[in-house]
Amino acid sequence: MRLIETKKGLSIETKFGGETIHLNHTHETVAEFSEDVWQPFMVAEEATNFARVHLITAENEDHALSQIDEYLREKEYCEESHLIMATELEY
């Protein structure tokens, strides 16, 4: 999976097409990621009948999952998060 810029902002390109980023917790352009010491990750959260996609920079997959879990608990008052996966993105 690869992080790309579109007219509407950042998006994730997969072999099945584009994936919308629902919550961006990091940079606004692909160029800004090259200056970051951490890598971009997509974290998918189970939300009713679809996955809500978060974009975040982190050290590794575990760090990305824990950051999104913390966000959900503190900002959205979610008692139990349902995180599906974290995947490092190319850019």
Q: Is the pLDDT of residue 75 over 90?
A: yes
Task: Count how many domains the chain has.
Answer: 1
Antiparallel, parallel or unpaired: β 9-14 and 17-19: antiparallel
d(CA 75, CA 3): 25
Mean pLDDT score, 75-88: 92
pTM for the full model?
0.89
Strands (E), the chain: 2-6, 9-14, 17-19, 23-24, 39-47, 50-58, 83-88
pLDDT, one tens digit per residue, over 31-67 is: 999 999 999 999 999 988 888 999 999 999 999 999 9
Residue 83 banded pLDDT, cuts 50, 70, 90: very high
Residue range of the domain that includes 56: 2-88
